Amino acid sequence: MEKHTVTFSATVLGTPRTGPRRELKRAIESYWAGTIDQVELASIARTLREQHLIELRDAGLDSIPVGTFSYYDHVLDTAVLLGALPERVAGIADELDRYFAAARGDATVTPLEMTKWFDTNYHYLVPEITPDTTFALAPEKLLGELAEAVALGISARPVVVGPITFLKLSKAVGSSGSGAESESESESGSESESGSLLDRLDEIVPLYADLLAQLGAAGAEWVQIDEPALVTDLTAAELDYVRSTYDRLAAVTGRPSILVASYFGDLGAALHVLAGTAVDGIAIDLIAGTGGVDSLAGVPALANKLVVAGVVDGRNVWRTDLDAALSTLGTLLGSAGTVAVSTSCSLLHVPYTLDVEPDLDDNLRSWLAFGAEKIAEVTVLARALRNGVETVSAELATARDALANRRSDPRLHNTTVRARLDALGPDSSRRAPAAERRVKQSERLDLPALPTTTIGSYPQTSQIRIARAARRKGEIDEAEYVRRMQSEIADVVALQEKLGLDVLVHGEPERNDMVQYFAEQFDGYFATANGWVQSYGTRCVRPPILYGDVVRRNPMTVEWITYAQSLTSKPVKGMLTGPVTILAWSFVRDDQPLPDSARQVALAIRDETVDLQASGIRIVQVDEPALRELLPLRAADKQAYLDWAVEAFRLATSGVSDATQIHTHLCYSEFGEVIDAIAGLDADVTSIEAARSHMEVLDDLNAVGFDLGVGPGVYDIHSPRVPSIEEIVVSLHAALKAVPAERLWVNPDCGLKTRGAEEVGASLHNLVEAAILVRAAL
């Protein structure tokens, strides 16, 4: 390290930001609704930031990340920092409204595309870079947040998304002025097109250099440059870009010390490259990384750097094994110049604190650590390094006891479930050939060509949420709650009948969330009361905690679906969430392999499909929107994942007879790398997000010989815009070029729960009319 460097010992790479009680979410939504103004919003946001900074300092961190606050998304913030918002929002004079227009669109502007942040359930906005993009530094937000912290006397470390990651996550679009809609060639965004964008480093690295100098002048001792893209497979040319970029940034005069933060996996070859530059520190994820601490010993250049050791899991909720972490840190001291203790990644992905979870039993509580508890673990470990292990012996003993308590808990092993899974042979997850199933199903269902349907949810109105909140508080009893939900179901069924849809749904009003709803009904799962985690923008989820063997206590959906079916002679689809998605959107066990957990969840879902069938339900949809999300970041690990993921889905869906039609639904992703797996699911009908990708997914499916039913989404439900009949007709004709009419279904892109009732009625009306027109012309 350079001699001026002041080092630190305890930090985290980032923190949650929506507010411990979702205060920021509520404030932003109030601003959108026009009930508060910008001044009030800014003041709420500032108070939240300042309280949080003080908490982090008082907890004992001696370097505190700033600039990680966001009104919507940190990648969008980086686009603003670099002056790279799309041309189509440039005309919006107000800065904040321009920002929100880029994030969410408005009456005239399509928003940036949203996609998954690496293998997490957080979504970022994909910056669009055109040949005409002229980058320009806009550091006010970051400098402002730094100044707030400095004024509080806090040792603040500004955080920015790094230049390599920024360009790798951005998408190249044709030319300025054109919206995302017209950019078919680069719709697959980030990954495939990224090579070409790295040649724009020459334009943005000077801005980062300027930023570093300004941060140094404003009093920052350290800056954290996040480069999670470095844990993905990089070509030799890309590694050269890493080298030249950080050589250039390290050469900036008056800069703070530079910490390059990697997370979500191993740096691999990029570690040697980074270590060979003059950056001062590297943050290493010692949880997700499989190379482990020993691989660092072979990097002599680390001996003059600060290694920020991610030994506390930033993405899962288990209490840290402090003895194991200390041993890792001990090994690391042999290869690094200096060691600081940290979380493995930003705490964005975990809830704020266990303190607001009244329903946890003492045992389970003792096994867990949310944000605040993880910060405490970091400081204990840092104290052990600084002052000796004996100074934290009480904390180590508590951790040891909790771990022992967890290991011996009977809830971790259910012999019935394990015996049932052991008894299943490989044939238990195979159905009869698709062609045989098709014959039996079409006799039973008697559907027209191009059947119309929806993906499951209808608008989650405030009426619905108020009823659920009232039930939670005991203000209404179960019978009244059921009555209100049934009345919602009856409305949704009546609406679908009126619109003339062919396959109906019950609308999912009773579900707080498509994963949490099921987790609440499984043994082995704990659903939090306040464990909110940002999913995108102001939308949050409460990932449930899988801690033991999974047992379905009772049928979970049968009464709701059969009620809906009792109201109509048209088929109503049973609606379930698949095992991969249930796990992807949960905090999962770390004491057994994920595929083992997947089989347990799959068995529970399989039992539900069988019960639905026995109650007269003819179609069951098992959603797997997160299939792509869990795909490992490195090519070498992908196939093994896809194998167990497909197997789990098939286990969940092969308990029914040939005449029961299995649907699945996939969304939120680019499907290129998982196309074979989609075919492998062997679902009779697959509805898939396609509206924003111009139906290209259909050609990809054809390329792998897919010959089952498919419903490419014909309009984008992420926008309030009502699609016209004509444009849906155009979509359907495009689909018919790739898929014969016998296999084609007509449906939206995804569920309708975030939409308003009026636009849903109008959109579905147009969808049905379009299907009738195209059908007539077949």
Ligand X SMILES: Nc1nc2c(c(=O)[nH]1)N[C@@H](CNc1ccc(C(=O)N[C@@H](CCC(=O)N[C@@H](CCC(=O)N[C@@H](CCC(=O)O)C(=O)O)C(=O)O)C(=O)O)cc1)CN2
Q: How many residues touch ligand MET (CB under 6 A)?
A: 13
To the question of whether residue 573 is assigned a binding role by annotation, the answer is no
Nearer to ligand MET among residue 667 and residue 770 (C-beta): 667
Q: In the Cβ-directed half-sphere of 102, how many Cα atoms lie within 13 Å?
A: 31
Give the Å distances, CA to CA, from 516 to 543, 582, 631.
Answer: 7, 8, 22
CA angle in degrees (0–180, nearest 5) for 423-638-12: 105
Bridge partner list, 342: 310
Question: How far separated are the first and last CA of the chain, in Å rounded?
Answer: 72
Bridge partner list, 339: 307
To the question of whether residue 456 is assigned a binding role by annotation, the answer is yes
Nearer to Zn ion among residue 256 and residue 456 (C-beta): 456
For CA atoms 588, 589, 593, 595, give the dihedral sign.
negative
Alpha-carbon distance of 68 to 77, in angstroms, equals 9
Q: How many residues touch ligand X (CB under 6 A)?
A: 19
| Stretch in the footprint of ligand X (CB under 6 A) among 49-57, 286-294, 386-394, 538-546 | 538-546
- Decide: 687 and 747 in contact? Cβ < 8 Å: yes
Nearer to ligand X among residue 469 and residue 635 (C-beta): 469
Give the DSSP letter of residue 627: T
CB of 22 to ligand X, least distance (A): 7
CB of 625 to Zn ion, least distance (A): 5
Nearest residue relative to ligand X (C-beta): 512
DSSP line for 527-584: --SS--EEEETTEEE---EEEEEEEE-S-SSHHHHHHHHHT-SS-BEEEEE-HHHHHH
Question: Does residue 665 touch ligand MET according to CB under 6 A?
Answer: yes
Report the DSSP pairing between strands 222-226 and 257-261: parallel
Residues found near Zn ion in the complex (CB under 5 A): 625, 667, 750
Question: Does residue 81 touch ligand MET according to CB under 6 A?
Answer: no
- Per-residue tokens: 360: 């946890």
Residues 377-396 that bind ligand MET (CB under 6 A): none
Alpha-carbon distance of 143 to 160, in angstroms, equals 11
CB of 457 to ligand X, least distance (A): 8
Q: 457 is in the binding site of which of ligand MET, ligand X, Zn ion, none (Cβ under 5 to 8 A by kind)?
A: ligand MET
Residues 116-135 that bind ligand X (CB under 6 A): 121
What residue has token string 């993921």?
A: 645
Choose, by CB under 6 A, the member of 404, 466, 703, 741 that binds ligand X: 466
Is-catalytic flag, 718?
yes
Nearer to ligand MET among residue 281 and residue 625 (C-beta): 625
What residue has token string 């195979």?
A: 430
DSSP line for 110-164: PPPPEEE-TTSS-EEE--EE-TT-------HHHHHHHHHHHHTT--EEEEEE-HH
Nearest residue relative to ligand MET (C-beta): 751
Question: Does residue 14 touch ligand MET according to CB under 6 A?
Answer: no
E-strand stretches of 239-322: 257-261, 281-285, 306-312
Q: What are phi and psi of 17, to 5 degrees?
A: -140, 0
- Per-residue tokens: 461: 């109105």
Residues 93-112 that bind ligand X (CB under 6 A): none
To the question of whether residue 91 is assigned a binding role by annotation, the answer is no
To the question of whether residue 23 is assigned a binding role by annotation, the answer is yes
Question: Does residue 514 touch ligand MET according to CB under 6 A?
Answer: yes
Q: Helices in 251-359 by DSSP H: which ranges?
A: 269-275, 322-333
Bridge partner list, 519: none
The one catalytic residue in 694, 718, 733, 765 is 718
Residues 453-472 that bind ligand MET (CB under 6 A): 455-457
Question: Does residue 754 touch ligand X according to CB under 6 A?
Answer: yes
- Decide: 697 and 671 in contact? Cβ < 8 Å: yes
Q: Sketch the per residue contact string, 752 through 771, with ligand MET: x for CB under 6 A, - otherwise.
A: -x------------------
Q: Sketch the per residue contact string, 294 through 333, with ligand X: x for CB under 6 A, - otherwise.
A: ----------------------------------------
Angle between helices 393-407 and 371-387 (to 10 degrees): 130
To the question of whether residue 689 is assigned a binding role by annotation, the answer is yes
Choose, by CB under 6 A, the member of 408, 415, 416, 462 that binds ligand X: 462
Question: Does residue 256 touch ligand MET according to CB under 6 A?
Answer: no
Alpha-carbon distance of 60 to 341, in angstroms, equals 12
Alpha-carbon distance of 38 to 28, in angstroms, equals 9
CB of 258 to ligand X, least distance (A): 34
What residue has token string 């004491």?
A: 591
CA angle in degrees (0–180, nearest 5) for 305-62-257: 35
To the question of whether residue 700 is assigned a binding role by annotation, the answer is no
Q: Sketch the per residue contact string, 323 through 352, with ligand MET: x for CB under 6 A, - otherwise.
A: ------------------------------
Q: 331 is in the binding site of which of Zn ion, ligand X, ligand MET, none (Cβ under 5 to 8 A by kind)?
A: none
CB neighbour list of residue 407: distance below 8 Å, 6 or more residues apart: 591
Alpha-carbon distance of 400 to 256, in angstroms, equals 39
To the question of whether residue 345 is assigned a binding role by annotation, the answer is no
Alpha-carbon distance of 24 to 268, in angstroms, equals 38
CB of 760 to ligand X, least distance (A): 15
CB of 3 to ligand X, least distance (A): 47
Residues 277-306 that bind ligand MET (CB under 6 A): none
Alpha-carbon distance of 601 to 649, in angstroms, equals 10
For CA atoms 127, 132, 135, 138, give the dihedral sign.
negative
- Decide: 730 and 218 in contact? Cβ < 8 Å: no
Question: Does residue 608 touch ligand MET according to CB under 6 A?
Answer: no
Q: 546 is in the binding site of which of ligand MET, ligand X, Zn ion, none (Cβ under 5 to 8 A by kind)?
A: none
Nearer to ligand X among residue 188 and residue 535 (C-beta): 535
- Decide: 306 and 280 in contact? Cβ < 8 Å: yes
Nearer to ligand MET among residue 78 and residue 664 (C-beta): 664
Q: 755 is in the binding site of which of ligand MET, Zn ion, ligand X, none (Cβ under 5 to 8 A by kind)?
A: none
Nearer to ligand X among residue 55 and residue 513 (C-beta): 513
Question: Does residue 512 touch ligand X according to CB under 6 A?
Answer: yes
CB of 583 to ligand X, least distance (A): 11
Question: Does residue 623 touch ligand MET according to CB under 6 A?
Answer: yes
To the question of whether residue 713 is assigned a binding role by annotation, the answer is no
CB of 776 to ligand X, least distance (A): 36
Q: 512 is in the binding site of which of Zn ion, ligand X, ligand MET, none (Cβ under 5 to 8 A by kind)?
A: ligand X
CB of 105 to ligand X, least distance (A): 16
Q: 539 is in the binding site of which of ligand MET, Zn ion, ligand X, none (Cβ under 5 to 8 A by kind)?
A: ligand X
To the question of whether residue 750 is assigned a binding role by annotation, the answer is yes
To the question of whether residue 96 is assigned a binding role by annotation, the answer is no
Give the Å distances, CA to CA, from 4 to 200, 221, 256, 257, 436.
Answer: 32, 9, 10, 9, 74
Alpha-carbon distance of 23 to 17, in angstroms, equals 9
Choose, by CB under 6 A, the member of 99, 241, 264, 585 that binds ligand X: 585
- Decide: 344 and 287 in contact? Cβ < 8 Å: yes
Binding site members for Zn(2+): 665, 667, 689, 750
Residues annotated catalytic, as ranges: 718
Q: What are the residues binding ligand MET (CB under 6 A)? A: 455-457, 508, 514, 575, 623, 625, 665, 667, 750-751, 753
Binding site for ligand X (CB under 6 A): 121, 460, 462, 465-466, 468-469, 512-515, 535, 539-542, 585, 668, 754
What residues are designated binding site? 22-25, 116, 121, 455-457, 508, 539-540, 585, 623, 629, 665, 667, 689, 750
